[in-house]
Chain A
Amino acid sequence: MMDIKHWLRAWPSVAMALSMAALAGVSLVGQASSSKPTGPKKAPFPVALHSGAAAEDYLGEKTCGGCHPAYMESYEASPHAQYVRDPKLPGDHRGCESCHGPGKNHLEHQEEGEIQKFIFAPTKSSAADVNAMCLRCHSRTMSEAHWKKSSHARGDISCISCHFIHKDAKQTDAAARATRDAQSIRKPTAVAVKETQHLLKDHEADLCATCHKADVAQFRQPYHHPVPEGRMTCSDCHEPHPTRTSLRKGSMRVGLKNPTQVCATCHREVAGPFVYQHDPVTGASGDGCVECHKPHGATNPKMLGAFSRGLCNQCHTDKNATHYPGQTCWASGCHAALHGSNSDPNLLVR
């Protein structure tokens, strides 16, 4: 176990603990001083629709289907339908109304300008409102506090930017699919592609490319991880929002999964630990594996940032032209254990 000296040396943690205590104190004092005449804090719009509703305000999905047959059809085909038909769920978590809010007030206010006030339409709502509504049910796998820590949350991205609740016509439109195919990095010559899961609106790489164009375009380089071939997807390495993986790892911040750990998921043979480590492999010198490799795509074999000895020479500047027999440092058969060795400090043999 860690001894007290380690904790004392851990100045950032101590500083953080003190900062957090101060923050919590300020916030509790603030909350206490605000428990006055202003009344209770108002819930976000979609959640407020439920909080003010009585059991008889929920009309059931058949009533919704009477006026919205097209949506009803896509809802029937959606996995969401199965979940919200659980008879053990309370009324405000069942059927269409679990996401859109109770239908009674909506039915009673059909006038122009009023109709949107009493029903929740995710596609016409703010990211914060959409996310609040989704987290009513999805809070068992992710709390709002977790979600707020993701860069997507900081960028005001909503759940329905990437996921569909039930497919609409636009998402199944073949012409739109053809347009996406023309731009995609995916190679249609490969068929053993990973299935699109989690109600994503599109193949992951195409979906991520909607915003992260420059990053995704790197997969067009001649050496890349097999994302265009469909053997991998973006979320194999990246976490778009908190997941079980981020809950498991030490840091609760999400984004890229731990750089060294994530590479080791598939490349265990180079993960070590080794008795004689190559610093970049351990992450000690900074960026871990990406110190040498370009994981999306590269112009060099092995997805390296520079070609041949140009890579090693960036740090090992003392190994000049006389040190080499003329080949790449590892391909020449010399530094065969460049990721690390248990027997050789010069990483010549494993």
Chain B
Amino acid sequence: MRNTWVRELLVMAAAAAVLAPCGAAWAQDKAPAEEEQKSEEAKAKPLLPVAGVLTLGYGDLGLSGNQNTLRRYATPPQLLFIEELSLRSRNGWGSGQGGITLRGIGADDYTYRGNVDEMFGRLRADAFYSRSRYLPDTPEPQGESERKASGWNLAKRISPSFVIASSYTMESQTQTFGVPRAAQYQRSRYLDVQAYGKAGRGFISGGYSSTSFNDRTAVLPSSTVEQASVSYILQATPSVDAGGSYSRTLIRQAALPQATVETAGLMADAALGRFGDLSLDAYSETIGNMAPATMAVTRNQGAAAKLQKRWANWNAELGLRSREIMRLNETQDYVDVPRWVTLDGRLRGRLSRQTKITLKAGSQWLGGAPTAAQEDTRSLYWHRRTNVSARMETGPASATGYLAGSYKVQENAERYARSAASALQAGGNLQLGPKVVAFGEYAFESLKLRTEISDWPTSAMFGPDSQTAVAGLSWTVDPHMWVTATYTDWFVSNDNPLLLPEANIHGRELTLTLRRRFNDGSELGLLVAPLTYKDKVADTLDYRATIVRLSGSTTF
């Protein structure tokens, strides 16, 4: 009771804080002539060296039910917080410019970033720090998960055509899971240094990178991956270019011998005049595994050719790819070499000035299907994959519509397994008047599974269907006020024979925003978002929330 009272008091205080400057600005709106005069005077004044935006916010979740599900990916801000504080050099400082942007100060999730460009952009640097807190979507209460990332990027142009750059990222994760899985505490670091730029009639690049991973719970072994690489592309003639690349990677993992991966690649492009443009690629990867495993891949190589032809309003592509791997078994007494061949094509163009169409199709075949290193030795790999898709957009700017569909089939002939995924999407925008634009979209997805399992429950019972419908409206009330509404309704259905949670779910999300901008650039915003999530099997996952956020921003 006391908390509610305090909260309401805080809401009123926050509202007063953000409304006061905006209210004053509103009053100024009512005297446009006076405002214009003031604006002229302001222009004449010397400007501050920095331009900035400050946005204050107050948020409330209005949550009843399972907060784990609501906070699955991020935590909406609550109570008072600074939504944005950004400062940016207004006209540079002679030879440089820069700024910082801080979002979510005082909230659970925040992100900070700053950048500096000095010497007219010949030296560029930026740094960032972010944190996000979320919860595992389990019925029982769990501890918070947290992900923090920080790092920097640096680039120095050492000549008009050559750059040296470096970047560093450190990411730490605390992840909690549902029973029986234990929490993980991990940290990874990434560092790279790279040089690139023009070299003769081509472009050269080379660099070094290092990634390290450490699991502080010691469940997973610590590892380090170091890579050195070099590449060169030669523009042989205006219509032909060719290049190559090489990289060597060392992988070290606790208690295991070192592994190496060497990759070499070649490529070429040629304009063949009326025959179109031809692209050729090839790569070969040799893998020295740290320890023999069940079936270890020791070589991976492939080649691809693509022909593209343009005419009038049409653009057609035809591609052929081949890839093969060599696998060595644990006792090193046999190898198998599965090979995939893929043929694909794409046609895109205009049926009329306002109608665009894209058609895609592809098929992949597996040769030399490997036996499985287990009791049932029939191959576990898909023997054939086929996909087709089409997309069409049509209409003038005031009434556009689009329709997209795709169908993908995968088949394993030895195991009589088949998976077919289909998707359909239709939507459009409609200008309902000079001030109102409506938007609608409907998407349907379905997965049909078939295997040789005939006992209950069959695989087919685990193929989900889903539908998502979205309706949106934007209304420009007057030149200073906008209203936006978006309603999303989605549901997922499964036969769910085992009555597991998260299989039959239904969500409804309505988001209403109102923004009012004043002549001095300050803005007042109100967001109201009623959200519901319902699990038809496990109602302990359900939640109902009405997220409310009031924000006021000012520029200086």
Contact = CB atoms under 8 A, between A and B. Distances in A.
Interface string B473-504: 11110000011111010101010101010110
B376 A318 contact: yes
B107 to A, nearest CB: 6
Interface stretch (B14-22, B29-37, B278-286): B278-286
Interface string A161-197: 0000000000000110111011110011111111100
B464 interface: yes
A182 B466 contact: no
Given A6-B284, A182-B486, A23 B270 contact: yes
Interface residues of A, number: 124
Contact of A342 (B188, B198, B221): B221
A310 B188 CA distance: 33
A4 interface: no
A149 B279 contact: yes
A9 interface: yes
A269 B462 contact: no
Interface string A121-147: 000000000000000000111111110
A336 B181 contact: yes
B210 interface: no
A318 to B, nearest CB: 4
Contact of B449 (A141, A148, A213, A313): A313
Interface in A297-350: 299-301, 305-311, 313-318, 320-322, 326-328, 331, 333, 336, 342, 345, 350
Contact of B269 (A30, A148, A220): A148
A146 B243 CA distance: 10
Contacts of A57: none
B231 A252 contact: yes
Interface stretch (A48-56, A61-69, A108-116, A243-251): A243-251
What is the interface residue range for chain B against chain A?
A: 35 or more
A304 to B, nearest CB: 10
B215 A27 contact: no
Contacts of A139: 161, 198, 203
Contacts of A230: 74
A27 B270 contact: yes
B294 A345 contact: yes
B196 A247 contact: yes
A85 to B, nearest CB: 6
Contacts of A333: 180-181
Query: Looking at chain B's contact residues, is the secondary structure mostly helix, strand, loop, or mixed?
Result: strand
Contacts of A155: 315, 348
A313 B462 contact: yes
B375 A13 contact: no
Contacts of B415: 315, 317-318
A175 B476 contact: yes
A146 B121 contact: no
B239 to A, nearest CB: 6
A144 B268 CA distance: 13
Interface in A1-38: 1-2, 6-7, 9-13, 15-17, 19-20, 23-24, 26-28, 30-31
A13 B303 contact: yes
B529 A252 contact: no
A276 B293 contact: yes
A282 interface: yes
A27 B282 contact: no
B79 interface: no
B318 interface: no
Nearest to A331: B178
Interface in A239-279: 244, 247-253, 265-266, 268-269, 273-277, 279
Contacts of B25: none
Nearest to B303: A12
A268 B482 contact: no
Contacts of A17: 266, 282
16 contacts: A6-B299, A11-B301, A12-B303, A13-B303, A19-B268, A86-B95, A155-B315, A178-B483, A183-B439, A187-B511, A231-B73, A276-B293, A279-B381, A286-B340, A286-B382, A309-B459
Pairs of residues from A and B, 9 with the lowest C-beta to C-beta distance, nearest first: A310-B462, A12-B303, A86-B120, A182-B472, A16-B282, A250-B263, A192-B109, A27-B240, A229-B74
